[in-house]
Amino acid sequence: MIKSNRVVYAETLGTFKRQLKKGDFVKIMEERSQECGVSVNPSQIKAWNDYHRLLPILKDLPDDIIVGFEYQVPVGGRIDFIIFGHDVNNKPNAVQIEVKQWSNENVNTVYSHYAFEVEVDGYANSKLVSHPSEQVSEYQNHLLNYIDAFSSDSIHLSGLVYCYNYKRNHSKTDLISADYKQLIDEYPIYCEEDSSKLNQFLSNLMCKGNGEDVFESVITSKWKPTKRLQDAVANMFDGKPEFSLVGEQLTAFNAILGAIKNTPKDQKVAVIVKGGPGTGKSVIAMRLVSALAKECEFAYYVTRSSSLRKGFKKILKKLDINNKGVNDFIKNTFDFKPNSYDENEVNAIIVDEAHRIEKSSNWYAQGKNQKGRDIYNNTFLSQIMSLLYTARVSVFFVDDLQCIKQTNIGTSIAIREAAENYSKRLEEEINDFTNNEGHEGGIANIKAKIIKRTREKDAAYSRGNTIFAEQKSNKITELNSQLHDAYTQLELIQRQTTIDKIPVFEIELPDQFRCNGSDNYLDWLNDVINNGCRKKHRLDPSQYEFDVFDTPQALYEKVKSLDDYAKIVRDLKFNSAKELRQYICKVLKFKPKQTARLAAGWCWDWKNELAPNGDLLKEVVIEGSDWNGVPFTKFEMPWETKAKPRGDFKYHYADNAELWANQPEGINQVGCIFSMQGWELDYVGIIIGPDLVYDKENDCLVANKDGGTHDVDLDDVNFDSYVKNIYRVLLTRGKKGCFIFCCDPEVGKYFKRCMNL
C-alpha cells in the first residue's frame, strides 16, 4: 500500500480491527501523526480511544476495504474517517465520514451570520463550530474541486456524519432540527440508534471490497483545480454590483487581462498594480479571477488578510449559493510553495494586499514542526520568490504606504527587483540556504550544529558524563532529522523553465472611490500625517465628514449614532444579549444598511483571554482629561479578540476578530489594523494611541517609541513610517466619514487646527 503524508493512517479494515483489538491503534495514530507533522491534542486521543464505537457500522463490510483516518484535504483541514471500496456493480466508491462524540446535552444552536453553526459545551474552551453536515459539505466540495478522480465521477464520493453519542429520540435534538433539513437531506446525520442503518448504507457501497485500487487512485491524484471549480468561478461575478468596474479600473482590468492572455505557457509575467485606499484593487482582483476562468485560465485570489478571505467567502455565499465550493479559489499567500506546486504550475495568482507579503514563506520557524504545521510544507524561498516560482502569471495589487511592519516586504520596488532578476535571485537563495552557516535551518547551519554537538557528546563521554552525552546524542538525532527535511526542501526546487528575467508591467490606479470619492481628504490627510500642517491642501468638509473629539466616550457615541444595529439596540429592551440577538435575527431579520466601527492603534495588550466572569477583557483602557482639563470617566472596551466569551457575554460580541467588521455585534468592540486593513465601512471612529505625538518644535506628528506600539520593531529605522502608515490605513477605512480621538491632546488639537486652515 502507498504511504503518504496525505493521510495519517490507511490500512485494510481487517488490519484496523486487529490493531484495535490488540490496543495498538492509538499508539500507531500518534506515531504516524508525528511522522506526518500533524499535531495531536488530548481531545483527539480521546476520540481515537473511542473508535471501537465504529465497529458496529463496519461489521458487515469486507476486510479488504481501506479505512483512512485524518485524511488531509487539499485546501486545509483533515477528514476524520474515509473508506474506499467497490459496490455490487463493482463501481469504485469513497465515503467521507465526520465522526463526532457530541451528545444531545452539549450541543446548543446559536445565532450567527454564518449559517449552520452550533455551540459545543463540554470541550476545552467550548467553542462555536459549523454544523457537522456543513463541515461534510465543505470537505465534499473541496475534494470535488481539487481531485480529478472524484470530479470526473470515476470514483463516486459520498459524505455523512456519524454522531454515536447523539440520540435521535431525545427531548433536545438541535443538530437534526427542521432548520437543517435541506442540508441533512444531502449530507445525512446518523445518530446512536442509526448504526444498523448506516452499516447497511456502507455495505451497499463497499460490498465488493478491493479498496486498495480506489485508495491508490485518490492518494496519487495531483492536487489541482478541476474543471468543475473553474466553471463555477467563471460565472461568479458577472453582473454583480459589488464587483462592477468603472473608469480607470476597467482600463486597468483590460490591460492586465491582455497581458495575461498573451503570455506563452512556458514563460512568466508579473503585473504590479499600484493604488491607494479605495481605488478598487480588490474589485479588479475578483473580476480578473472570473474573467480568467472564462478563458480556461484558472486563477487564485490570494491575500495574507484572513479577514478579507473570510469576508469574501461570506459574500460569495450570498451571491450564488448554488456554486458550491467556489471559495476554494481564495487562498493565503503562504499556500504557494515548491512543495505544493511545480514551477509555473499555477496559471495565475492575483495577490491582493500584496504589501502584506512576508519575508518568509513559512508560517513558523523553518525546519521545525510547531503547532502541527507540516515540516514538508516549509520552503527556504522568500515569499515573493515562492509566488513568482509557482505562478506563470503573477499580479500584485500594492499600496506601498500600507507596509506596517518590518516583515512586510511586498513593496512595488521589491517585487520588480525580484522579478527582473528572477533566475539570479533563485540561485542566490538556493546558495544561501545550502552554504551559509548563518542561515538558520539551512543545510550548512544544521551541519555545523551537528559537528558542534558531536564534539560536545564525545567530550562528555570522555569525562564520564553519560547523561549529558545522551542529551547531546538526542539533539544530534533531532538535527539529522532537520537536515533530512532541509535536503527535502532543496530537492523540491525543480526548474521547469529557462526563464532568466520576468517581464514586469506596472499599472497605476489614479482614482479612488472611498471617502466619498474625495481626493481632497486623502491629500489633506497625507499632508497632516507625513508633512506637517503646511497648508498645501485644505480640507473641504462638504466632500467628506471628519471631526475630532476630545474624549473617547464622545467619539464612541458618535460612532454608535451612525451604526444601524447600535441605533436599533438603543431602543430595544431585552433581559439578555441572547434574546436580543435572536430577536434581531429571527424576527427583524436585520440587515444593516449603514455600518460604523471603532478602531484603534495597537497600543494596548491583546491577551486573547477572558475575564473571570467570562466576559472579554476590556484591554483598551484610556484615562485623561478633555481639552479644557476636565478629567473624563475611564474608558474601557475589549478588542475584537479570538477569545470566546462565556455565558450571555458570548452573544454580545462578533464571533471572532476576522468577522468583527461584518457582524453587527462588532460595534461593542475595538478593531485594530489587522481586522481593518483591506476593508471599508460607512463610518469609522479611530482612537489614535500614544504611539503618535505632536512635535511642537517642528509642528508635525512623530511616532513615539514609548507609546506601547505592538508588532513593530522599535529599533527599525522605518518605525516612524510604519506607525504613520498604520494610522493612514485606519483613517481611510470610512466611505462617508471618519472621526478621531487622540490620546495625546496636542495631537487632537493639531488635527483640529489643520481642519480649520
Residues 214, 231 within the same domain:
no
Question: Would you say residue 170 lies in a domain?
Answer: yes
Cell numbers standing for residue 130? 459549523
Judge whether 505 and 272 are in contact, CB under 8 Å: yes
Residue with cell 481626493: 519
Q: How many C-beta neighbours within 10 Å does residue 713 have?
A: 13
Cell numbers standing for residue 7? 493521510
Per-residue 3-state assignment (H helix, E strand, C coil) for 53-78: HHHHHHCCCCCCCEEEEEEECCCCCE
Q: What is the CA radius of gyration of the chain?
A: 28
Residue with cell 478522480: 149
Q: Residue 465: CB partners within 8 Å, gap ≥ 6?
A: none
For residues 644-682, one letter each, b for 16 or more C-beta atoms within 10 angstroms of the residue's C-beta and e for the rest, the string is: bbeebbbbbbbbbbbbbbbbbbbbbbbbbbbbbbbbbbb
Residues 251, 389 within the same domain:
yes
Question: Would you say residue 472 lies in a domain?
Answer: no
Collapsed DSSP state (helix, strand, coil) of residue 697: coil
* Confidence at residue 122, expressed as pLDDT on a 0 to 100 scale: 44
Alpha carbon 425 to chain centroid, angstroms: 28
Give the CA diameter of the chain.
87
Q: How many C-beta neighbours within 10 Å does residue 238 have?
A: 12
Q: What's the rounded Cα separation, in Å, for the pair 688 and 690?
A: 7
For residues 77-102, one letter each, b for 16 or more C-beta atoms within 10 angstroms of the residue's C-beta and e for the rest, the string is: ebbbbbbbbbeeeeebbbbbbbbbbb
Question: If we measure between CA atoms, which residue out of 226, 371, 214 comes closest to residue 293?
Answer: 226
Residue 328: CATH number of its domain: 3.40.50.300
Residues 170, 246 within the same domain:
no
pLDDT in tens, 639-649: 998 788 988 89
Element spanning 748, H or E: helix 745-755
Element spanning 752, H or E: helix 745-755
Residues 203, 254 within the same domain:
no
Distance spanning both ends of the chain, measured CA to CA: 77
Q: What's the rounded Cα separation, in Å, for the pair 298 and 629?
A: 61
Domain boundary among 219, 239, 269: 219
Looking only at the bridges linking them, the beta strands covering 734-742 and 681-688 are parallel
Residue with cell 526542501: 489
Domain boundary among 386, 407, 430: 430
Q: What's the rounded Cα separation, in Å, for the pair 88 and 417?
A: 60
Residues 277, 203 within the same domain:
no
Residues 368, 249 within the same domain:
yes
* Confidence at residue 452, expressed as pLDDT on a 0 to 100 scale: 95
Q: What's the rounded Cα separation, in Å, for the pair 41 and 612?
A: 25
Domain boundary among 398, 415, 430: 430
Question: Would you say residue 378 lies in a domain?
Answer: yes
Cell numbers standing for residue 187? 449530507
Judge whether 256 and 273 are in contact, CB under 8 Å: yes
Torsions phi, psi for 685 (to 5 deg): -115, 125
Residues 150, 234 within the same domain:
no
* Confidence at residue 404, expressed as pLDDT on a 0 to 100 scale: 67
Per-residue 3-state assignment (H helix, E strand, C coil) for 109-158: ECCCCCCCEEEECCCCCCEEEECHHHHHHHHHHHHHHHCHHHHCCCCEEE
Q: Indicate the burial class of 59 (C-beta count within 10 angstroms; 0-12, 13-18, 19 or more).
A: middle
Question: Would you say residue 269 lies in a domain?
Answer: yes
Q: Which residues is 274 bridged to in the sheet?
A: 398, 508
* Confidence at residue 517, expressed as pLDDT on a 0 to 100 scale: 53
Beta strands in 561-639 (DSSP E): 596-600, 620-625, 631-637
Q: Quote the domain boundaries for residue 385.
A: 227-430
Report the half-sphere exposure of 640 (CA within 13 A, side-chain side). 28
Judge whether 605 and 636 are in contact, CB under 8 Å: no
Residues 63, 182 within the same domain:
yes
Judge whether 107 and 120 are in contact, CB under 8 Å: yes
Cell numbers standing for residue 595? 455600518
pLDDT in tens, 161-198: 999 999 999 998 888 988 888 889 999 999 999 999 99
Residues 282, 355 within the same domain:
yes
Beta strands in 259-390 (DSSP E): 269-275, 299-303, 330-331, 346-352
Torsion of CA 514, 520, 523, 525, to 10 degrees: -80
Q: What's the rounded Cα separation, in Å, for the pair 697 and 74?
A: 58
* Confidence at residue 125, expressed as pLDDT on a 0 to 100 scale: 41
Question: If we measure between CA atoms, which residue out of 589, 590, 572, 591 comes closest to residue 580?
Answer: 572
* Confidence at residue 167, expressed as pLDDT on a 0 to 100 scale: 95
Residue 661: CATH number of its domain: 3.40.50
Cell numbers standing for residue 25? 491503534
Question: Would you say residue 583 lies in a domain?
Answer: no
Residues 146, 277 within the same domain:
no
Question: Would you say residue 470 lies in a domain?
Answer: no
Q: Residue 711: CB partners within 8 Å, gap ≥ 6?
A: 405, 602
Q: Residue 46: CB partners within 8 Å, gap ≥ 6?
A: 101
Question: Would you say residue 1 lies in a domain?
Answer: no
Residues 204, 242 within the same domain:
no
Residues 183, 231 within the same domain:
no
If one counts the domains in the chain, the total is 3
Q: Which residues of the chain have pLDDT under 70?
A: 1-2, 37, 75-76, 109-130, 224-248, 251, 296, 314-327, 364-377, 404-406, 511-518, 533-536, 678, 711, 713-715, 757
Alpha carbon 602 to chain centroid, angstroms: 20
Q: What's the rounded Cα separation, in Å, for the pair 123 and 121?
A: 6
Question: Would you say residue 334 lies in a domain?
Answer: yes
Q: What's the rounded Cα separation, in Å, for the pair 114 and 140?
A: 18
Residue 18: CATH number of its domain: 3.40.91
Cell numbers standing for residue 26? 492509538
Q: What's the rounded Cα separation, in Å, for the pair 233 and 319?
A: 12
